[in-house]
Amino acid sequence: MHLEGLTLSFAVCILYQRQELFRTRTHLKSKIITQGRNGTVEPRFASRMGILRASDIREILKVTQNPEIISFAGGLPAPELFPASAIAERAAEVLASQGTVALQYSPTEGFFALRQIIAERMNTIWHTQLMPEEILVTTGSQQGLDLTGKLFLDEGDVVLCESPTYLGAIMAFNVFKPHWVEVATDDEGMEPEALEDALRTHERIKLIYTVPNFQNPTGRTWSDQRRERLVQLAAKYEVPVIEDNPYGEVCFEGTLPRAIQAMDSRGLVICLGTFSKIFCPGLRLGWVAANRRYLDKYVILKQAGDLHTSTVDQMIAASYMKTHDLENDIQHKRDVYRKRRDAMLSALEAEMPRGVSFTRPKGGLFLWVELPTSLDARQLLIRSLEQHVAFVPGEAFFPTSGRKNTLRLNYSNMPEARIIEGVRRLAVAVRKELEVGRPAQAPVSV
Amino acid sequence: MHLEGLTLSFAVCILYQRQELFRTRTHLKSKIITQGRNGTVEPRFASRMGILRASDIREILKVTQNPEIISFAGGLPAPELFPASAIAERAAEVLASQGTVALQYSPTEGFFALRQIIAERMNTIWHTQLMPEEILVTTGSQQGLDLTGKLFLDEGDVVLCESPTYLGAIMAFNVFKPHWVEVATDDEGMEPEALEDALRTHERIKLIYTVPNFQNPTGRTWSDQRRERLVQLAAKYEVPVIEDNPYGEVCFEGTLPRAIQAMDSRGLVICLGTFSKIFCPGLRLGWVAANRRYLDKYVILKQAGDLHTSTVDQMIAASYMKTHDLENDIQHKRDVYRKRRDAMLSALEAEMPRGVSFTRPKGGLFLWVELPTSLDARQLLIRSLEQHVAFVPGEAFFPTSGRKNTLRLNYSNMPEARIIEGVRRLAVAVRKELEVGRPAQAPVSV
C-alpha cells in the first residue's frame, strides 16, 4: 500500500532490496545486542525471526493494487460471487434474534451449530465419519496451520512436504523452526518410493504435510493409489498427515477426489478445511477435523492463541447454511472458475513460446508454469510488470530447493477477456527474456 | 459443555482428576514414542505441550453453564449493553455498499479506516502519538499476546511480570517456553527495587509484561510514579514493555490513568488494546500499537498466523464508530459496572468473616480476594459450588509462586441482586471451610 505512486520497476527494485536488507539485518540481529550508529539498540527478537520474512505474495499484491495491472499473483476468489445481500439478511436475523449471544465471548471449540454443519458436510461430501466434537472452528485455515506447528513442532523436527508446497504452510511452520524435507512429487502426488525413503531415513519426522486436491501452487491432484499408499505409510511409520484441503470442492470435472482422512482407520489424518473458497474469505472461517487425541490439544492452543473465532461470523455462516443452498453456490463457482481456467489454458497454448510448459488443473484456483531452465521467474516478473502483468515467482514455494524457472498463475479473480490479455502480455515478456537470455554467439577462436 | 448433566461436585472432581491425569500423560509424552497397552502409539507432540493445559477458567465456565449457578468465574461484559440493533444496521450498510470488499481477503495490517480510528482514539484518550501505520488489527488482544510471544521469546528467555498476572498471557507465552520471573507487586504496581533487582540479576530478559490499569485478576492500578520508574528502567536496561490495556477505559472514578506508552520516548512500550470491553468481544477485534521496528515484525507473524482479522467485523466496527458515539456507550458501561462493583464491595464487607481481605478496584471487571492462609481456594470452590456459586481460584494467576489462598471475582456480568446473593452464599462457603480448617483442640497430654 505504501508502494503506491512509485513506478512499477522501482517498486520491484525495492522488493529485491528489502529482501537483501532483511537478510543483512537478520544476520545482525542474531547477535544478542547490536549497538546502532545513532546509539539506538536493535531489538532482540526471538531466533525464529531470522528465517521469517514477509510473503512474496503479499508484497507483490501491494504493487498490484494499481488497477492497470493484470494480476495473476493473488489467490482471491471472485468477489462478484459472494452472496452479500443474503449474508446481510442473515446478519440482521442473527443480531435481532440472538444479538447478546452473537456479540459475546463464545466457546473456543466454535459455535456448536456450525461444528455440526461442518461435520455433516464433511461426512456427506468426503465420506468421513466425524462427530461435531471432532471439529474445531479456526480463524481461517491459516490458523489451522499455525496451531499444527505449535502442536507438533520443536526446533529441528522434520516436516515432509510436496515439492513445491503451499507458501502459507511454509510461513506458518517456519515460526517453529522445523527441518523441511521436500519429497519428490509428480502429477499424481508424492512419489511413494521417495516418501518411504524419507520416512525411513529421517529421524524426528513429526508431520507429512499435503494439499492433495488442486494444490496451491501447482493445481495438481493426487491419484487414489497414491493416497492409499500415503495412508499405509503414515500408519507404518506412525506419522500424522495434515490433509490441507481448501480447494477440494472447487472441482471442475467428474467426481470429487477421495478424502485421505476417509481412507484412514488409525485416526492419523488431520484435515484442515475452510469456507474461504466455497463461501467467502472475509469472515475468516476455517476448521480442523481430527481425532479427539489431537483435537483436544488443538483447542488448548487455540484458546491461548485468540480465545475463539468471531462469534457473529460463525453464527452468520451457520444461519446462511441452514437457509441457503451452499452446494448450489459452489456449483456456480465451479462453472465460473472452469471457464476462467479454460481461457487461461487456451491462451497459454496459443501464446507461449516453445519450452514453456504448464499444468492443467481439474479444479482449484491456480496453475503452474515451468519456463526454460535458462530463465529466472524473478527477472521475468520485472519484465512482466513493465507489461502491467503480475504473477508469483515459484521459488518461494520450495522450502529448500527453490527452482527459479517456475511461476504460479491464478485464474479465479478476473473475467476471461482480461485473463487472455494478461497471458498475451506475459508471453511477450517471456519472449523478451528468452531473447536477452540467448547465449551470445561463440567467440571465434584466435 | 460435555460436563452437563453431571452433578456439580462430580464435575469438580473431574476437573481435578483431569489435571492430574494431564500431568501424568505429559510425563509419558516426553519420551519419543510410548507404546500403549492396546498397541496404539501416543502422539508425539512438541515439547511445549508438556506445560500447557486448558485454562482453569474455561473449564470452570463449562460447569457454570448451569443457569442455577451464580458465576463470578468468567470475565464476560454485560451483554445487555451490546448495541446489537445498531450493529445490525451497520452490517447491513457495509454489506450493501461494500459487500465485495467486506467479504474478501484484506490486508494483514487491518482495515485502514479502523487503524485510523484506533490511532486517533488512542492519541485522544491516552495522549500517545501514534500513526495508523503503527497499528496492527488483531483477532482480539489475546492474539496480540500470541504474536508477542512469537516475536520475542526463545525457550528459556525471561519474562518479568506482576505477581499475580493475567492468565491468558501466561497461557499465550508458555507456548514459547519462557522463564517467568514474578516481580513483587503491591497496590501501586511492581515495586521498583524488586523490578530493578530482577533486571540487574537475570540474563536474557526479553519482556516486561504488565496490565497497569484495573488489572486482571486483582483490579489494581499502577501509580504515576511507578509508571515513570518503569519507563526509566525499561530504557536503562533496553527491555521492551508490553502494556496490556484491555480495561483502562472502564474507569469508574476520576480521570483515566496515564498511559505508559505516552511516557516513553524510546519506542520501547508496545501497547495491546481491545474492543472487547468497550464495544463487544464477539467480533474479536484487538490491536497492537507499536513503533514500526516492532510492528512490521508483528505483521509478518500475523500473516503467518491467520492472514488477517475478519474483514467484515473490522468494517462493521469502523462504520459503527463513525456513525455512533462510542464514548457515550463506554460512559454507560462505566455507570453499570460501577454499581455492580459497589454491590459486590458492600456485600463482601457485610458478609465476609474476619481474615478475608479484598481489593477495591477503581475500574475494570474484577476484584481479588485473599483468604486466611489456612484456606485453599480450590477446596473452597468445591464447597462454593455446593452453594451454586463459582469463582476462579487465584493459584493459576501466579506463573511460578501459586498462592492457594486467593481468588478472583468478576462483577460485570450480572445484576446487583444476584451479586449480593452470590457473595452471601460464597461467605457461607468460606465460613464452612474455616470451620473445617480450624485446628482440632490440642490433645490432653497423657
Contact map slice: B 306-365 vs A, CB within 8 A: 306-313
Q: Which of A153, A206, A310 sits opposite B284 (nearest CB)?
A: A310
pLDDT category, A229, cuts 50, 70, 90?
A: very high
Contact map slice: B 137-166 vs A, CB within 8 A: 138-140, 142-143, 146, 150-154, 157
Query: Which residues on A lie below 8 Å from B171 (Cβ)?
Result: 303-304
CA–CA gap between residue B178 and residue B181 (Å, rounded): 9
CA–CA gap between residue B322 and residue A153 (Å, rounded): 44
Q: Is A86 exposed, middle or buried (0-12, 13-18, 19+ CB in 10 A)?
A: middle
Question: Model confidence over A247-294: pLDDT tens digits?
Answer: 999 999 989 999 999 999 999 999 999 999 999 999 999 999 999 999
Task: For residue A306, count other CB atoms closer than 10 A to its CB.
Answer: 29
Cβ B95–A76 below 8 Å, yes or no? Answer: no
- Percentage of chain A beyond pLDDT 70 is 86
**Closest chain A residue to B310 measured between Cα atoms?**
A283
| Residue A284 near chain B (CB below 8 Å) | yes
For residues A35 and B180, which has the higher predicted lDDT (pLDDT)? B180
The pair phi, psi for residue B207, each rounded to 5°, is: -150, 145
- Predicted confidence (pLDDT) at residue B1 exceeds the cutoff of 50: no
CA–CA gap between residue A362 and residue A378 (Å, rounded): 27
Cβ A171–B313 below 8 Å, yes or no? Answer: no
Q: Beta strand B406-410 with B392-393: parallel, antiparallel or unpaired? A: antiparallel
Query: Which residues on B lie below 8 Å from A87 (Cβ)?
Result: 95, 99, 103
**Closest chain B residue to A317 measured between Cα atoms?**
B103
Cβ A88–B107 below 8 Å, yes or no? Answer: no
Q: Which of B2, B33, B99 sits opposite A82 (nearest CB)?
A: B99
The residue of B103, B134, B136, B151 whose CB has the most chain A CBs within 10 angstroms, and thus the best one to mutate to test that interface, is B103
Q: What does the radius of gyration of chain B's CA atoms come to, in whole angstroms?
A: 23
- Percentage of chain B beyond pLDDT 70 is 86
Mean pLDDT of B81-106: 97
Of the candidates B260, B257, B242, the residue with the CA atom closest to the CA atom of residue B144: B242
- Predicted confidence (pLDDT) at residue B56 exceeds the cutoff of 80: no
From A9-13, B60-64, B355-359, the region with the lowest mean pLDDT: A9-13
**Closest chain A residue to B167 measured between Cα atoms?**
A304
Q: Which of A91, A107, A309 sits opposite B91 (nearest CB)?
A: A91
Give the pLDDT confidence score for residue A42 in this predicted structure. 73
Of the candidates B318, B244, B238, the residue with the CA atom closest to the CA atom of residue B288: B244
Cβ A304–B142 below 8 Å, yes or no? Answer: yes
pTM reported for the whole predicted model? 0.91
CA–CA gap between residue B149 and residue A78 (Å, rounded): 36
> Nearest 5 degrees, angle CA B209-CA B212-CA B215?
100
Mean pLDDT of B46-54: 82
Where does residue A388 fall: left (phi above 0), alpha (psi -120 to 50 degrees), or beta otherwise? left
pLDDT category, B41, cuts 50, 70, 90?
A: low
Question: Average pLDDT, whole number, for chain B?
Answer: 89
| Residue A436 near chain B (CB below 8 Å) | no
The residues, ordered by sequence, that sit 6+ positions from A387 with a Cβ below 8 Å of its Cβ are A425, A426, A428, A429
CA–CA gap between residue B52 and residue B25 (Å, rounded): 12
Give the pLDDT confidence score for residue B98 in this predicted structure. 97
**Closest chain B residue to A105 measured between Cα atoms?**
B282
CA–CA gap between residue A123 and residue A217 (Å, rounded): 27
- Residue pairs spanning A and B at CB distance below 8 A: 254
CA–CA gap between residue B405 and residue B424 (Å, rounded): 19
The residue of B63, B155, B241, B307 whose CB has the most chain A CBs within 10 angstroms, and thus the best one to mutate to test that interface, is B307
For residues A2 and B313, which has the higher predicted lDDT (pLDDT)? B313
Mean pLDDT of A124-141: 98
Cβ A303–B58 below 8 Å, yes or no? Answer: yes
Cβ A284–B308 below 8 Å, yes or no? Answer: yes
Question: Model confidence over B331-383: pLDDT tens digits?
Answer: 999 999 999 999 999 999 999 999 999 999 999 999 999 999 999 999 999 99
Q: Is A1 exposed, middle or buried (0-12, 13-18, 19+ CB in 10 A)?
A: exposed
Question: Model confidence over A40-84: pLDDT tens digits?
Answer: 557 899 999 987 766 666 666 677 678 889 999 989 999 999 999
| Residue A101 near chain B (CB below 8 Å) | yes
Mean pLDDT of B184-211: 98
Cβ B312–A133 below 8 Å, yes or no? Answer: no
Give the pLDDT confidence score for residue B38 in this predicted structure. 46
Q: Are the CB atoms for B358 and B370 separated by under 8 Å?
A: yes
- Predicted confidence (pLDDT) at residue B28 exceeds the cutoff of 60: no
Secondary structure class of A296 (helix, strand, coil): helix
Cβ A80–B100 below 8 Å, yes or no? Answer: yes
> Nearest 5 degrees, angle CA A287-CA A288-CA A294?
155
Cβ A146–B306 below 8 Å, yes or no? Answer: yes
pLDDT category, B42, cuts 50, 70, 90?
A: confident
Q: Which of A53, A92, A133 sits opposite B300 (nearest CB)?
A: A53
Q: Are the CB atoms for A419 and A347 separated by under 8 Å?
A: yes
Give the pLDDT confidence score for residue B401 in this predicted structure. 84
Cell of A217: 501452487
Mean pLDDT of A13-34: 36
Mean pLDDT of B141-169: 98
Cβ B99–A91 below 8 Å, yes or no? Answer: no
- Predicted confidence (pLDDT) at residue A297 exceeds the cutoff of 50: yes
CA–CA gap between residue A170 and residue B376 (Å, rounded): 47
Where does residue B355 fall: left (phi above 0), alpha (psi -120 to 50 degrees), or beta otherwise? left
Cβ A299–B54 below 8 Å, yes or no? Answer: yes
Query: Which residues on B lie below 8 Å from A281 (Cβ)?
Result: 103-105
| Residue B85 near chain A (CB below 8 Å) | yes
**Closest chain A residue to B277 measured between Cα atoms?**
A104
Give the pLDDT confidence score for residue A438 in this predicted structure. 60
- Predicted confidence (pLDDT) at residue B26 exceeds the cutoff of 50: no
Query: Which residues on B lie below 8 Å from A95 (Cβ)?
Result: 84-85, 87-88, 91
Cβ B312–A313 below 8 Å, yes or no? Answer: yes
| Residue B112 near chain A (CB below 8 Å) | yes
The residues, ordered by sequence, that sit 6+ positions from A89 with a Cβ below 8 Å of its Cβ are none
Give the pLDDT confidence score for residue A28 in this predicted structure. 34
Mean pLDDT of B166-176: 96
Task: Indicate the residue type of A171.
Answer: M
Q: What is the 3-state secondary structure (H, E, C) of chain B?
A: CCCCCCCHHHHHHHHHHHHHHHHHHHHHHCCCCCECCCCCECCCCCHHHHCCCCCHHHHHHHHCCCCCCEECCCCCCCHHHCCHHHHHHHHHHHHHHHHHHHCCCCCCCCCHHHHHHHHHHHHHHHCCCCCHHHEEEEEHHHHHHHHHHHHHCCCCCEEEEECCCCHHHHHHHHCCCCEEEEECEECCEECHHHHHHHHHHCCCEEEEEECCCCCCCCCCCCCHHHHHHHHHHHHHHCCCEEEECCCCCCECCCCCCCCHHHHCCCCCEEEEEECCCCCCHHHCEEEEECCHHHHHHHHHHHHHHHCCCCHHHHHHHHHHHHHCCHHHHHHHHHHHHHHHHHHHHHHHHHHCCCCCEECCCCECCEEEEECCCCCCHHHHHHHHHHCCEECEEHHHHCCCCCCCCEEEEECCCCCHHHHHHHHHHHHHHHHHHHHHHCCCCCCCCC
The pair phi, psi for residue B172, each rounded to 5°, is: -65, -45
Cell of B9: 461436585
Mean pLDDT of A115-135: 98
Contact map slice: A 383-412 vs B, CB within 8 A: none
CA–CA gap between residue B417 and residue B420 (Å, rounded): 5
Distance from CA of B228 to the nearest CA of A (A): 20
- Predicted confidence (pLDDT) at residue A322 exceeds the cutoff of 90: yes
Q: Are the CB atoms for A388 and A397 separated by under 8 Å?
A: no
Mean pLDDT of A369-392: 95
Cell of B246: 484491555
Distance from CA of B295 to the nearest CA of A (A): 12
Q: Which of A88, A92, A105 sits opposite B282 (nearest CB)?
A: A105
Q: What is the 3-state secondary structure (H, E, C) of A353-385?
A: CCCCEECCCCECCEEEEECCCCCCHHHHHHHHH
Q: Return the residue matching grid coordinates 469456507.
A: A275
Query: Which residues on B lie below 8 Å from A80 (Cβ)?
Result: 100
Of the candidates B296, B441, B390, the residue with the CA atom closest to the CA atom of residue B67: B390
- Predicted confidence (pLDDT) at residue B53 exceeds the cutoff of 60: yes
Q: CA end-to-end span of chain B, whole Å? A: 56
Give the pLDDT confidence score for residue B438 in this predicted structure. 60
**Closest chain A residue to B238 measured between Cα atoms?**
A41
| Residue B293 near chain A (CB below 8 Å) | yes
Question: Model confidence over B264-298: pLDDT tens digits?
Answer: 999 999 999 999 999 999 999 999 999 999 999 99
Give the pLDDT confidence score for residue B353 in this predicted structure. 97
The residues, ordered by sequence, that sit 6+ positions from B400 with a Cβ below 8 Å of its Cβ are B180, B181, B182
Question: Average pLDDT, whole number, for chain A?
Answer: 89
Cell of B309: 482479522
Domains of chain A and CATH, by start: 1-53 (no CATH), 55-81+329-437 (3.90.1150.10), 84-323 (3.40.640.10)
